[in-house]
Amino acid sequence: MVAMQHFAWIIAVLVACFLACTAMLALLRHRRRRRDTDSHNEASAAFMGVAGTFAAIILAFVIILEYEALSSAEQQTSTEASQLLELYWAAHALPPASGTPLKEAVLRYGELVVGVEWPRMVDGKVDATEGWAAVTRIRLAVENIQPADARQATFLASAQQATADLVAARQARLALVNATVSPIIWLVLITSCAATVSCGFLFRTERLSSHVVMMGSIIVVIVLNLLVVYELDHPFSRGIAVSPASISDALDHIRRLG
């Protein structure tokens, strides 16, 4: 339902831009004379080429960086989930005196991330105090393990490595919450795109419909690219977002193990 509303919002924006473009072209065509337009075509084409190239380069650069941030957020979330499972499997193989506290700490951490921490990240907040407290409980549970034989020592080493990897993945994930496009970059993007579109209005074709199709296509492409940047701007919210599904799946598996 949310996805459909989001899609409808994008379509509404594109239709509004296309209608505004048609109205602007009709107004300009009505008010200016032919000889005024012809004198600007060559200069407008040159400037539009420069502005369009600059806008395309900046857009591509920003989209690539934002997509890499999104991919990194997905990877770190999956790493957290896998390390939670690794910790629980290690605890499951240890005697109850050592394994039970670690099991409880792992389960508590996963539930805290999914139920408390993730909604805050969706809102762009990084209040991770409770999460770090849960990590501390995992560390203490691992440190309190006293292996009685080589087999238990192997599982202890696995739990220690999983804890270190969990902390690293968690730090990387939290760092990406505020990995957004700066206002300066947004200003450059919007200004260069606006310059490209404004140059297109200086052209005049024989038929209004041809000009509308040309400018409408340019505006649709630019708006779609800006929407992509907007959606990728926050890795944990908006239309394209990383979900805690992998951690939720790990918790489901942990609960089945008991």
* Alpha-carbon 83 to chain mean position: 23
pTM flag (> 0.95): no
- What interhelical angle do 34-93 and 208-232 show, nearest 10? 30
Residue 125 to residue 198: CA distance in whole angstroms: 38
pLDDT in tens, the chain (258 residues): 444 455 455 566 656 665 666 666 566 555 555 555 555 566 666 777 777 888 888 889 999 988 998 999 999 999 999 999 999 999 888 888 888 999 999 999 999 999 999 998 888 777 778 889 999 999 999 998 888 888 889 988 999 999 999 999 999 999 888 878 888 888 888 888 888 877 777 666 666 666 777 777 788 888 888 888 888 888 888 778 889 999 999 999 988 886
**Structural domain boundaries of the chain?**
2-257
**CA–CA distances in Å: residue 141 to residues 30, 101, 136, 250:** 78, 6, 9, 20
Residue 108 to residue 158: CA distance in whole angstroms: 20
Torsion over CA: 41, 42, 47, 53 (sign): positive
- Residue 1: strand, helix, or coil: coil
